[in-house]
């Protein structure tokens, strides 16, 4: 299998790279980082720099893999150096909303647009992005987090539309949105204090759960939103 891990330098992304590199049926991993190349090296892993907000960067990167069996996009933001998820509408800033959309929603469409040819081999394949349960409109009970929630809801809609299009044009590909569970990474660290210990996963835990889900996916399950434990989440 040839696999691409986008955002392979993040907590969840790097755990995907490490666990998949250890699997005998995986031949090659095209892993991307944004700012700093990770220290993790492995004969199967190639690190490439990629800014997912720049189509030219995605286009140039997409020349590398000849074929792909899986692509997992694990890049995303919840906060930046000055702003975090809004507790109240009083904190809403259009620029932060747009930054969330730019990093959490649009890149999946740009990736699909630029890599679709790499899935034309006809073997069962997977195109997945790490979403978040807080992007579920049906499941939203607490409110707040306007920018992040909306960016993940938009991402989910994009994945659903892509799944419908690819059922016609790339029927071997399963498109999936994944919820990793609350995972101990730089992204969630400022927001972990109310999370019960048994509900806070290490990146390795969360990724081994998600790999179980991914391994069970077949094209007839395309266009769905899966939690780490295999639960089907409502949009
Ligand atoms: N951790 C959780 O509890 C949790 C829960 C639900 C969903 N998620 C989702 O899981 C995904 C992974 O999150 P994580 O927890 O692993 O966070 P993380 O450790 O902060 O990793 C985020 C990754 O995204 C990359 N990234 C951000 N902007 C980018 C850009 N413009 N171009 C390329 N890469 C970019 C980062 O690279 P740089 O650091 O170099 O910018 C980093 O590799 C995110 O989509 C997040 O929303 C996480």
| Mean of pLDDT values over 204-228 | 98
Spatial distance between the Cα atoms of 30 and 89, rounded to a whole number of angstroms: 40
Under DSSP, is residue 16 helix (H, G, I), strand (E, B) or coil? helix
Question: Which residue has a Cα nearest atom 20 of ligand 1?
Answer: 187
Give 215 Cα–ligand 1 centroid separation in angstroms.
22
Look up the CATH number of domain 2-227: 3.40.50.720
Question: Which residue has a Cα nearest atom 7 of ligand 1?
Answer: 132
pLDDT value at residue 25: 97
Instruction: Give CA angle at 212 (233, 78), nearest 5°.
Output: 55
Which residue out of 34, 98, 195, 225 has the highest number of ligand 1 atoms within 8 Å of its CB and is therefore the one to mutate? 34
Give 189 Cα–ligand 1 centroid separation in angstroms.
12
Which residue out of 58, 73, 77 has the highest number of ligand 1 atoms within 8 Å of its CB and is therefore the one to mutate? 77
Give 26 Cα–ligand 1 centroid separation in angstroms.
23
Query: What residue ranges do the domains of the chain occupy?
Result: 2-227
Cβ burial, residue 13 (10 Å; 0-12/13-18/19+): buried
The minimum-distance atom of ligand 1 relative to the CA of 35 is 40
The torsion angle over the Cα atoms of residues 164, 134, 101 and 7, rounded to 10 degrees, is -80
Residues lining ligand 1, CB < 6 A? 7, 9-13, 33-35, 50-53, 74-78, 103, 130, 132, 180, 182-183, 185-188
Which residue out of 4, 5, 6, 7 has the highest number of ligand 1 atoms within 8 Å of its CB and is therefore the one to mutate? 7
Range with the lowest mean pLDDT among 2-16, 86-100, 188-202? 188-202
pLDDT value at residue 100: 98
| Alpha helices in the chain, H assignment, sequence order | 11-21, 55-61, 94-100, 106-115, 146-169, 203-215
Instruction: Give CA angle at 177 (76, 36), nearest 5°.
Output: 25
pLDDT value at residue 74: 98
Question: Would you place residue 102 in the very low, low, confident or very high pLDDT band (cuts 50, 70, 90)?
Answer: very high
**pLDDT, tens digit, 9 for 90 and up, residues 109-144:** 999 999 999 999 999 999 999 999 999 999 999 999
| Mean of pLDDT values over 70-84 | 97
């Amino acid at each position: 299998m040839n696999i691409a891990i986008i955002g392979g330098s993040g907590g969840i992304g790097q755990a995907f790279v490490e666990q998949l590199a250890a699997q005998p049926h995986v031949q090659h991993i095209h892993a991307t980082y944004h700012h700093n190349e990770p220290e993790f090296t492995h004969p199967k892993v190639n690190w490439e720099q990629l800014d997912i907000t720049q189509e030219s960067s995605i286009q140039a990167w997409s020349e590398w893999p000849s074929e792909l069996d899986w692509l997992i996009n694990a890049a995303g933001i919840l906060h930046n150096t000055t702003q975090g998820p809004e507790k109240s509408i009083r904190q809403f800033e259009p620029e932060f909303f747009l930054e969330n959309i730019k990093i959490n929603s649009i890149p999946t469409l740009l990736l699909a647009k630029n890599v679709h040819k790499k899935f034309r081999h006809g073997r069962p394949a997977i195109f997945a992005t790490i979403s978040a349960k807080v992007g579920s409109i049906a499941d939203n009970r607490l409110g707040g987090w306007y920018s992040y929630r909306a960016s993940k809801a938009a991402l989910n809609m994009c994945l659903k539309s892509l799944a419908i299009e690819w059922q016609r044009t790339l029927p071997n590909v399963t498109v999936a949105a994944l919820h990793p569970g609350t995972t101990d990474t730089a992204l969630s660290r400022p927001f972990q204090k109310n999370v019960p210990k048994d509900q806070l996963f290490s990146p390795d835990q969360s990724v081994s759960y998600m790999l179980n889900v991914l391994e069970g996916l077949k094209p007839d399950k395309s266009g769905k939103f899966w939690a780490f434990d295999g639960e089907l989440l409502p949009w």
